[in-house]
Chain A
């Protein structure tokens, strides 16, 4: 099983690791630079001191007399330099005793105590002699590392000075310790900052998680505060957008569900009312009174027809709801169709059908007939005469059929819902003979043609059907 750290641990570890790495790198670089410059300073001061000694020793030889040889003279001068370790190597017989070499090292002809074998290697000393200058090299002694400078004082006479580097090492050790302390402090500080940063991030992530949980539990109005412009703010923004859209969808579903319930209740009511009349009227068929029997039969008849029409409309509506409505288009003369619909739905009324332009279109004649019939029936039932039907064929690609009445027009609160199911012109549900589905069915039929139904007031309610002229149906 792989270890999965928490977000907080991951952030703290990352910050700590990064600060550790950078601090160590910084400390190492600093140490390198510091140590280099310290060594250089040490070497430079040693060199200056040596150069001065070589110069002084030479002057001492030139000015002074009374010593046996150059070696003695230099040795005498050097002895005055207290606290310094030095040695002389001589190759010129006129200057005094000549140094011998053994095991690749020269044996000094003069010098102070504190000398160790091997401090004057042949190669380095010869190098200094050849260069006519001085050579620096480091040797290790039991008393610590030494910086050795070898150079000629007189031709063939070389002076070697030993500078103990222990103080330099101590200085560098102190520097190392200080850097380590600083590095540790920085890493700790980094870790602490990491914890703080992690806490901040974690708090906001936790807020988001809580919000998501609350939202999941049904609090659809849960929103996250958007702070700043970072990724977490982006997350909050996305969450809010998602919550809003989800909330809208759920609200929409709820509304649909409510509509569905209302629809079922409306259907139940509208089926029961004629049934109730029929059940009540059925008893009258056995009445001894002939007039009573006749009236009961009449009542039964109207209610059976009413129920029949309602069931027809409901079935029609359910075909639309199931998406199973079929369009059978053919060439239709809408003027003739409208005239026929008027004759059928309002036989007694005087309703003129007017036409402008070309009234021909391709559409399903049965469905178009239903639309116009329902509009005319609606106008006759809820509007006031005179009712007029106008077929407008002046537009190139659509034909309009407008059914206008001269009544008070559509009540304002009814306009947005007039095409909904079971919406009736008056608040009484059972006042009118209609099923309450006529306009809803008309609208579904119009939509099936790719057209639409609109309503507006113009000296009465005007319902307008707009259908595209359509194309001849493809054969085969």
Chain B
């Protein structure tokens, strides 16, 4: 049972989607504007597991809402977009969204995506070693916390899972498909731009110089590789 916040301004779609997701065993709260959604998150910070966010909202649009959520919170966000053009997807993922779906979406598909993301929030199996060192970072896989010099970094669950995946295979090249499978739990249907966007966000948080990465290197044509500690 997960608690979802659905942000959608089209009343009919909000009702239909909320109904369908409730039928699939979720608890759904509905907000019809970005402001209302941010208020709701502020009030019940602990009780929202995931946000389903429509891109085209009156007033503050979905991208901006996503940015504002990310400024304070690591709750997973799935963008709902009706346009589905490349720009929307890229901009959305750059705003810090964990995933996106294009309307119309089957409630079952949405459910699967939600579950996949929520699974990531919980570590798959307790690794043998709890604490890893990457550069000047310390990664505690039991507590799911990354610290630099004792200060905790604000990483989302997707970003932490991605970092763990890299740490466990340090020095190896991981392809985007592999990462999609292992971190996102998607098959070939996944969008590899998800990986690129998440890697970019991760770099922004862990690299001393994100534009010139030294820890998480791109291997052109193959994927990404974390340098051996």
**Interface, chain A (partner B; CB < 8 A):** 265, 268-269, 272-281, 283-284, 287, 292, 295-296, 299, 302-303, 426-431
Q: B104 CB to closest chain A CB, in angstroms?
A: 4
Instruction: Tell me the B66-117 residues at the A interface (CB within 8 Å).
Output: 80, 82-85, 102-108
**Is the CB of B149 closer than 8 A to any CB of chain A?**
no
Complex interface: chain A residues within 8 A of B85 (CB): 265
- Chain A, residue nearest B102 (CB): A272
**Is the CB of B153 closer than 8 A to any CB of chain A?**
no
Instruction: Tell me the B1-42 residues at the A interface (CB within 8 Å).
Output: 9-10, 12-13, 15-17, 19-20, 23
Complex interface: chain B residues within 8 A of A272 (CB): 82, 84, 102-104
Neighbour of A428 across the interface among B13, B57, B82, CB < 8 A: B57
Give the 9 A-B CB pairs with smallest separation, nearest first.
Answer: A428-B58, A430-B10, A276-B104, A280-B16, A276-B103, A281-B16, A275-B104, A269-B82, A277-B13
**Is the CB of B150 closer than 8 A to any CB of chain A?**
no
A272-B82, A278-B104 in contact; A296/B13 too (CB < 8 A)? no
Tell me if B10 and A283 are in contact (CB < 8 A): no
15 additional contacts (CB under 8 A) given A272-B104, A279-B107, A284-B16:
A269-B82, A272-B84, A274-B12, A275-B103, A276-B16, A277-B13, A278-B16, A279-B106, A283-B23, A283-B107, A284-B23, A287-B23, A296-B19, A303-B16, A429-B56
Complex interface: chain B residues within 8 A of A299 (CB): 12, 15-16
Q: A222 CB to closest chain B CB, in angstroms?
A: 31
**Interface, chain B (partner A; CB < 8 A):** 9-10, 12-13, 15-17, 19-20, 23, 56-59, 80, 82-85, 102-108
A275-B103, A279-B107, A287-B23 in contact; A427/B13 too (CB < 8 A)? no
Complex interface: chain A residues within 8 A of B80 (CB): 276
Q: B183 CB to closest chain A CB, in angstroms?
A: 27
A276-B103, A280-B107 in contact; A269/B56 too (CB < 8 A)? yes
Neighbour of A268 across the interface among B10, B12, B15, B84, CB < 8 A: B84
Complex interface: chain B residues within 8 A of A302 (CB): 12
Q: Of A269, A276, A284, which is in contact with the most chain B CB atoms at under 10 Å from its CB? A: A276
Report the bound CA distance from A292 to B104 in whole Å.
21
Q: B45 CB to closest chain A CB, in angstroms?
A: 27
Tell me the total A-B contact number using a CB cutoff of 8 A.
88
Complex interface: chain A residues within 8 A of B59 (CB): 427
Complex interface: chain B residues within 8 A of A265 (CB): 83, 85
- Chain A, residue nearest B85 (CB): A265
Tell me if B82 and A276 are in contact (CB < 8 A): yes
Complex interface: chain B residues within 8 A of A296 (CB): 16, 19
Neighbour of B105 across the interface among A269, A276, A281, CB < 8 A: A276
- Chain A, residue nearest B106 (CB): A279
Report the bound CA distance from A279 to B105 in whole Å.
7
Report the bound CA distance from A303 to B10 in whole Å.
11
- Chain B, residue nearest A289 (CB): B23
Neighbour of A426 across the interface among B58, B82, B107, CB < 8 A: B58
Tell me if A280 and B19 are in contact (CB < 8 A): yes
Complex interface: chain B residues within 8 A of A287 (CB): 23
Tell me if A277 and B83 are in contact (CB < 8 A): no
Complex interface: chain A residues within 8 A of B58 (CB): 426-428, 431
Pairs A–B under 8 Å by Cβ, sample size 28: A268-B82, A268-B83, A272-B103, A273-B103, A275-B104, A276-B80, A276-B103, A277-B12, A277-B13, A277-B16, A278-B104, A280-B13, A280-B17, A280-B20, A280-B105, A281-B19, A284-B20, A284-B23, A292-B19, A292-B23, A295-B19, A296-B19, A303-B16, A426-B58, A429-B56, A430-B9, A430-B10, A430-B13
Complex interface: chain A residues within 8 A of B19 (CB): 280-281, 284, 292, 295-296
Report the bound CA distance from A278 to B104 in whole Å.
8
Complex interface: chain B residues within 8 A of A295 (CB): 15, 19
Report the bound CA distance from A217 to B120 in whole Å.
52
Q: A22 CB to closest chain B CB, in angstroms?
A: 71
Tell me if A269 and B83 are in contact (CB < 8 A): yes
Q: Of A268, A303, A427, A430, which is in contact with the most chain B CB atoms at under 10 Å from its CB? A: A430
